[in-house]
Each structure stands twice: as structure tokens, then as C-alpha cells.
Amino acid sequence: MPRYEFSPLGDSGVMVKLGEVIDQQTHEKVIQFYEYLQEHPFPGMIESVPGFTTVTVYYDPITLFDPLDDILPYDRAVAILEQMSQQISNTHSKEYRLVEIPVCYGGSFGPDLEVVAKQNGLSIEEVISIHSTTEYLVYMIGFAPGFPYLGGMDERLATPRRSSPRLSIPKGSVGIGGLQTGIYSIESPGGWQIIGRTPLSLFQAGESSPSLLCAGDKVRFRPISEREYDNGEKVY
Amino acid sequence: MSVEVITPGLCTTVQDTGRFGFQQYGVSVSGVMDKQAVQIANMIVGNQQTDAVLELTMRGPSLLFHKDMLIAICGGDFKVTINDRSVLPNRAIWIRSGSILKFGLAQEGCRAYLAVAGGWDVPLLMGSRSTNLRGSFGGFAGRMLAAGDKLVQSSPGAFSQFLANQLEKKAGAAPFYQANWFIPSNTFVKNGEAVVRVILGEQFADFSEESRQSFFEQTFQVSTQSDRMGYRLTGPALELTKSMELISAAVTIGTIQVPPNGQPIILMADRQTIGGYPKIGYVPTIDLPIVAQLRPGEKIHFQEISLRDAQKALIERDSLMKAIKLGIEVTVGWR
């Protein structure tokens, strides 16, 4: 039975904490609770957002107020969430969705590939091979629309961020920042070492599920050639 | 076509109450900064609370109307004129096709809102008509308005048409007519210093005693690096008793986070969905309109409020708004 800790996030949110450290076990609890909420939204619930160790639930205090009993909307929200937490069986762990992301490494798409190789005493081929044989876990989506926080990068690829960030990094760029790897979902400034680019769109406004990835997915990168990248851009 | 942009102003965007349900995908909520002003503006013209309005910042646009319309202007005072004759905020105005509605520089407050009966007709995207400037989507072509843009009005409801007909008759041959009743919507401060209440945050106790004291006893100034994403404040540096590495988690509007330089930031409408800085407090929903109307250089004095009082105040304001709506309907003879 997982322990749930509730605390207010402003006057219209409850933060539900499901663990103290970023690990697979806490992540599974987060996903389980988040998915339960998706399937069983309560009246007055606005939305829920999964984090590394938390699920944040936004609610409308007006809807959750009943003048007849005068219970504080926050207390009512917590009571509902507490009851829900008892409904969740943590017996079976869910099947993961594995998403393959084609990446054209190096060249103009990955200007920092050599930096990452040199920093770690590896050849370029070794960097690509290590980066593309690992299975990564999507902990959460945030920072920018569709941007995945990925866990599981091989420590042999760890590279410090650039000392001066680039003003504009094209969308689809795959980068390494410290112990993390990620994909820029929209064009933005950033300080990560850029090692390649995917022709896939990680975010498309207007779709019913606008983000290619969801918290709880697994990701694997597949090296592709520049020609495949060009074809890919037309396909995806 | 119903309205043409002659000059766009500094940062004029289409916004509604916000884009909900997509923060799980990293999509910011966006939406209007001063919800109270917008609620009143929409109420005055007979709209739903969620209908889209124009948000104007510091310097407003000039707009040429190609259609008779019922409008209301709420929030900051932008020296508004129709065909060079000044008009008053916070009331229903009927404006004739061919007239030019012109906003000047903000005299007081930072943001004004233009509501038209029926709301502005831009595509509904992920449940909202709000502009997401960083992601370049939503609202009018995902961007601020530019000269030459043409905005379209959605069809007004029965109450709006009733009120518009009433004011049109009174206008006679004049280019516009203002109702003789008004609803105050101003939350801007008169002396440059605002009292803003704060619910204590998760890490409040982790700040040094001195920092906790100065947070409430001293004032903070709104810096020029403040925008729809957040208000950066300058003031006494707020220090933690020991450095902490927090695990990133969801952040909400009004969150007062403190980065390592000790200068607090109040997160606003275009905030990111996830944050990792210590949270010293939260501005309650009821006081967000005050913050939204502050301009760079103005000052904030924080005052503690309990979660209970913050939620009670919100519930009371909701009852007041419902009473005002009824009052409008009675005043114009709709009920």
C-alpha cells in the first residue's frame, strides 16, 4: 500500500507525493495514480499533472464548496483523493509503450557530437551506439510543450552543459546536459550539447493527443542517415 | 470581417480563461492575466465567462470597426477614445460601423481588456482560444496582433442583442452610446504600492528567520523583466538555511519561487507547467488581478493569508459576481 502525502499547491491545487527519490518504483506509483485520475475525474477536478515523485491535481474551489456543510474545498479534495488512493490496486504493473525515435546523429544536425565523444574518451561511433542501445523512461513532460524528461542515460555519455547557451536550437534536436538526455520539442534557446536531430514532431498543437510521448512511455533512439532524415521529414 | 487592426499596440493578444487539460503534455495554461476584469467585461456585454477577449499591455491598439457592435473595456486605464471623443471604462458601449476605437498609453494599471458581445471568433484549439506566445499557437495565428489583421466577432446571444438594440436606439445618429450604469473592475494601485496576500509555501520554513521576516516586512519592486510568464521582483535577498536540491514538480499560477539569487519570481499566466525552485508562497487567486495590473517599478508588500481565508474570499467573490450579473439584467430591463 503506497503512502500518499497531500499538501496544498496554492488555493486550487493538491500536490500528492508518492515517494522521496526519482526511481522506477515511485514512477510506477505516479503513473498508476495519474491514470486512475484520468479514468475517474471527480466533479470540480480540472486536470492532473504527473511529476517525478508527485501527481498534482488542480480543482475548482467554487465547485467543491457546499454552503450546507461549510467544508473547506481543499479538505474536500484531499478526502476524495484519499478515498481514491485506497481504490488503486498496485498488484499488476502496466505494460509500457515503447516509442522508437529515428535520429540522424552528427553533422549539421549534431554539432556537439564530437565534444561528447572527446569529453568521455569515446569514438563518435561508440557515442552513437551507446546512446541508441539504451532504453529510456519518460518520467514526465514539461519545460516546453511535448518535452520529455528522460531517465536512464548511460553515465559514460555524461557531458556538462555548454558554458554559453545557444539562442536558438531547432526543434527535434537531441541533446545531452549533464546526466540527462532529451529532445527539444519546439525551437528554443538551450545549453545542452546537441548530438543529432529527429524528423519526428514531438509536439503538434491541435491534435487530441498533441504530445508524441506521455509520462510512462519508454523511448529508444534509432540511428538514421541524412537521406532517411529528409524522407522522414516528409513522412512524419 | 468585423474589426481591422490599424496599429497593434505593444502586446495585444486574444485570450480566454485558459487552456486546461494539457499541462500533462507540457502545455502552459496561458489565458488572461486579470481574470476579474475579464469576468466583468464579459458580463457587461452578456458573454459567457469563457468567451475570448483582447488583452492589451501598456500601449493599446487602434481598431477600425466594420460592423455595429456592443463592447466593454475593463482593467487598466488606457485613455480610450472613439473617433477622438473619450469613452469610459467598465460600461456597455454600442459602437457604430466605421468608427475608430483608439487606446493610448496605460495611465493606471498595466493591462486592459476589450470584450465584444459574442466574443472574438478565433479557432478553438485544445479547448481554448488563448494565444500561446512561446509555442506560437492558439489565439490569432499564435501571435500578437499586427497592423492589418482582421478580427471576427462570434454571434452575440439574446441578452447581448437586447442590450445592443437598447443602446443603438439611444445613440440616434451618434457614432457610439455609453450605458449610464457601470461595474468597477479596477484592481490597480493608486500610490504605486500594492498589498498582496500570500499563502505560505511548502519551503517557507526552510528560509532563514531573517529572510522570512523581511519577506513580509520589506517591500519588493516589480522589475522590468516581468511579463506574462512571470513577475521578477527585486528586494532583500531571500536565503535558505541550507541549500536544497528539489525534485521538479508542477507549479501553479501565483507560485512565488525563489531561484538561487534570492530574488523571488511570481509565476503568471504563461508559466511553464513544471518548476524546481523552492516555493516560499502562493499569491491566492483572489489577489492575482492586483499583481496582473502592476507595472515595472511599482512595489509589493506581502501579507500572510491562510488557505482557509483565501478560499473563503474566492467563494464570496463568486457570490458577489453572481449578484452583479443579476443586477445588470434587472437594470437593463431584461428581467
User: What are the DSSP calls for B10-57, one per residue?
Assistant: SS-EEE-S---S-GGGT------S-HHHHHHHHHHTT--TTS-EEEEE
What 3-state class would DSSP assign to B292? helix
Mean pLDDT, rounded, of chain B: 96
Whose CA is closest to A49, among B248, B289, B18, B128? B248
Q: Does domain A5-87 have CATH number 3.90.1150.10?
A: no
* CB-based contact, B249 to chain A, within 8 Å: yes
B318 touches chain A (CB under 8 A): yes
Q: What is the pLDDT of residue B243?
A: 83
Count Cα neighbours of A114 within 13 Å in the Cβ-side half-sphere. 3
Q: Is A126 helix (H, G, I), strand (E, B) or coil?
A: helix
Q: pLDDT band at residue B117, thresholds of 50, 70 and 90?
A: very high
CB atoms inside a 10 Å sphere around CB A107: 12
Summarised one tens digit per residue, pLDDT across range B50-77 is 999 999 999 999 999 999 999 999 999 9
Q: What is the model's pTM?
A: 0.94
Give the pLDDT score at B191.
84
A51 interfaces chain B, CB cutoff of 8 Å? yes
Model pLDDT, residue A93: 64
Question: Taking CB atoms and an 8 Å cutoff, what residues of chain A touch B31?
Answer: none
Annotated domain spans of chain A: 5-87, 98-235
Percent helix, strand and coil across chain A, each rounded to 5?
A: 25, 30, 45
Choose between B23 and A92: higher pLDDT. B23
Provide the grid cell at B267. Answer: 509565476
Each domain of chain B, given as residue ranges in start order, spans 3-186, 193-304, 309-335
Residues A72, B307: C-beta atoms closer than 8 Å: yes
Contact between B53 and B27 (Cβ < 8 Å): no
What is the reported pLDDT for B187? 82
Task: Note whether B6 and B68 are within 8 A (CB).
Answer: no
Residue of B nearest to A30 (CA): B249
Cα separation, B238 vs B265, in Å, equals 11
Q: Which residues, in sequence order, are CB contacts of B203 under 8 Å at separation 6+?
A: B240, B244, B246, B278, B279, B280
pLDDT in tens, B223-281: 999 999 999 999 999 999 988 878 989 999 999 999 999 999 999 999 999 998 999 99
* Residue in A3, A8, A79, A19 with CA at minimum distance from that of residue A54: A19
Nearest to B302 by CA among B168, B192, B195: B195
Give the C-alpha separation, A133 to A136, whole Å: 10
**Which residues of chain A does B286 touch, with a Cβ-Cβ cutoff of 8 Å?**
11
Shortest Cα distance from B20 to chain A (angstroms)?
7
CB-side neighbour CA atoms (13 Å) of B4 = 11
pLDDT digits (tens, 9 = 90+) for B82-101: 999 999 999 999 999 999 99
Q: List pLDDT tens digits, range B133-156.
A: 999 999 999 999 999 999 999 999
Mean pLDDT of A140-160: 94
Residue type, A114: E
pLDDT in tens, B269-296: 999 999 989 999 999 999 999 999 999 9
Q: How many percent of chain A have pLDDT more than 70? A: 95
Question: For B101-110, what is each residue's pLDDT tens digit?
Answer: 999 999 999 9
Mutate to test the interface with B, among A5, A6, A9 (most CBs of B within 10 A): A9
Q: Measured between alpha carbons, how far is residue A14 from residues A11, A56, A74 in Å?
A: 9, 6, 7
A195 closest CA partner among A115, A99, A101: A115
> By the CB < 8 Å criterion, does A179 face chain B?
no
Minimal CA separation from B170 to chain A, in Å: 39
Answer whether residue B45 shows pLDDT above 60: yes
Chain A residue with CA closest to B198: the answer is A10
Residue A163 to residue A9: CA distance in whole angstroms: 34
* Residues comprising chain B, all counted: 335
Amino acid at the residue B125: L
Verify whether the Cβ–Cβ distance A214 to B25 is below 8 Å: yes
In chain B, residues with a C-beta closer than 8 Å to the C-beta of A142 are 26, 248, 272-274
Contacts of A46 in chain B (CB under 8 A): 20-21
Predicted confidence at residue A87, as pLDDT, reads 87
The helix/strand/coil state of B154 is coil
Report whether pLDDT(A199) > 90: yes
Which residue from B191, B165, B228, B178 is spatially nearest to B28, judged by alpha carbons? Answer: B228
Q: Which CATH number fits domain B193-304: 1.20.1730.10, 3.40.50.970, 3.30.70.100, 2.40.100.10?
A: 2.40.100.10
* Preferred mutation among B22, B24, B198 to probe A, highest tally of A CBs within 10 A: B24
Rounded average pLDDT over B212-220: 98
Beta-ladder partners of B91: none
pLDDT of residue B318: 95
User: Over the stretch A13-47, which tens digit does the pLDDT of each residue have?
Assistant: 999 999 999 999 999 999 999 999 999 999 999 99
Most B CBs within 10 A among A49, A180, A211, hence the mutation to make, goes to A49
CATH topology of domain A98-235: Cyclophilin (2.40.100)
pLDDT of residue B222: 97
CA angle (B235 as vertex; B233, B237 as ends), nearest 5: 105
Single-letter amino acid, residue B45: V
Show residues of chain A in contact with B254, CB under 8 Å.
10
In this complex, the residue of B20, B135, B282 whose CB is nearest that of residue A10 is B282
* Backbone φ/ψ region at B84: left (φ over 0), alpha (ψ -120 to 50), beta: left
Q: Record the cell numbers describing residue B17, joined without a space.
A: 480563461
| Nearest by Cα to B38 from B23, B27, B49, B22 | B49
Residue A114 has pLDDT above 70, yes or no: yes
